[in-house]
Structure 1
């Protein structure tokens, strides 16, 4: 499928089965109650704890169902998958752990780079020098900055620049890999498959790195537009938030996972 066909298919997909779509909408509402009700003045402590637990459970079910939508996209399924709450709850937990792993790896590497570049050491020197200056009567920013060694400022600036560049590059690389890893996980149900980096690179190569990047950019532009529309709907007094969450958010989630599944159908 070309990119236009992928987007059109993903737009139509959420309403391929109205009943299942409405069930998914209800799950999103349940998942959101812990944040919505306090804005309406509901702040009971016990209720908040219950709603938080409900949010966590439903979050994993929604994530697990989204993984099955992803799988359906890779296999060419035309309608929304059936609901199996226990199975999808387990899938959601596995997917959540997989996401954490893909976040932790670049985070650890970035921290190591920052430390090696002297970011933390120079920041510590700047903080100590600034604190001493304030204790000695410095009463404006200029006086405080004059008390900080220029070498510490230079090292901090250089280290911060290097860390940001490497961090951004790693984030992009691991984000792309995480999508592919999640597809492998969706197909097999095995978290280990989602971490086979050699196979992940091979899958990405088969599809084409440029196609993946361009497709994801277009998908997220659509998401930004949807979020803007949901935000406008949310301005409607009282019911706006519920309409936006009940329709807009579920539609967007299903669109994203369907579109990504279609992109990776060739893997």
Structure 2
């Protein structure tokens, strides 16, 4: 399936079963109540706490359902999956843990690089030098900057550059890995499979890294355009926000996960 066919399939997919789509839409609305209700002036702490708890629970169900959509895409399923609250809740929790792991690894490496390059120590010296200058009567930015050792500023700038470059590169790499890991997890139902880096790299090689990047860019651009449309709809007084959340957000989520599933379909078939 080429990119155009993939996108057209993903666009049509959310509305191929109106009943299931509306149920999913209702879940998104329920998940959003903790942010919607307070915006209408409801400030009861008990109500807000209950709504927050409901949001967390439903969010895991929604994520698990999207994982099922992803799996359906890899298997060539043409209709939305049936909703199984317990199954999808568990799937959602596992998927979240997997995402956290793929976020923590580059974060830890970036923090180690930042520390080793002197980013934290030079920043501390700059702050203490600035505070010392102000205590001695420096009243403007020029005087404060003059009191900071140039070596500390140079070290900080160099360390910041190195840290940012490495951090961005790691973020891109692990983002691509996490996409494939989530697909592998969706297909197998095993979180361990989402951590088999050697197999994940093989899957990426089969799809093609460039193909993954290009497809994801197209998916996100379309999602962004749809989000802008939702934003315009949201300007309609009173009902705009509910229309956007009830129809727009669910459509975008289903579109994105369906498209990613189709991208990896050839790997698992």
Cα distance in 1, alignment partners of residues 195 and 229 from structure 2: 36
Cα distance in 2, alignment partners of residues 135 and 222 from structure 1: 54
In the other structure, the counterpart of 2:168 is: 168
Q: Where in structure 1 are there 5+ consecutive unaligned residues?
A: none
Cα distance in 1, alignment partners of residues 168 and 264 from structure 2: 24
In the other structure, the counterpart of 2:206 is: 206
Cα distance in 1, alignment partners of residues 35 and 24 from structure 2: 18
Structure 1 residue 203, shift from structure 2 partner:
0.3
Cα distance in 1, alignment partners of residues 266 and 108 from structure 2: 32
Structure 1 residue 10, shift from structure 2 partner:
0.2
Residues 131-146 of structure 1: matches in 2 within 5 Å? 131-146=131-146
Cα distance in 1, alignment partners of residues 264 and 153 from structure 2: 46
Cα distance in 2, alignment partners of residues 136 and 36 from structure 1: 50
Structure 1 residue 11, shift from structure 2 partner:
0.1
Q: How well do the aligned residues superpose, as a CA RMSD in angstroms?
A: 0.5
Cα distance in 1, alignment partners of residues 20 and 73 from structure 2: 16
For these two proteins, the number of residue pairs brought into alignment is: 267
Name the SS for the 1:79 alignment partner.
coil
Runs (4 or more) in structure 1 with deviation over 4 Å come to: none
Residues 223-262 of structure 1: matches in 2 within 5 Å? 223-262=223-262
Residues 79-158 of structure 1: matches in 2 within 5 Å? 79-158=79-158
Cα distance in 2, alignment partners of residues 51 and 134 from structure 1: 47
Structure 1 residue 30, shift from structure 2 partner:
0.4
Question: 2:224 matched to 1:219?
Answer: no
In the other structure, the counterpart of 1:63 is: 63
Structure 1 residue 43, shift from structure 2 partner:
1.1
TM-score scaled to structure 2, two decimals?
Answer: 0.99
Name the SS for the 2:78 alignment partner.
coil
Name the SS for the 1:177 alignment partner.
helix
Cα distance in 1, alignment partners of residues 114 and 266 from structure 2: 38
Cα distance in 1, alignment partners of residues 173 and 22 from structure 2: 36
Q: Where in structure 2 are there 5+ consecutive unaligned residues?
A: none
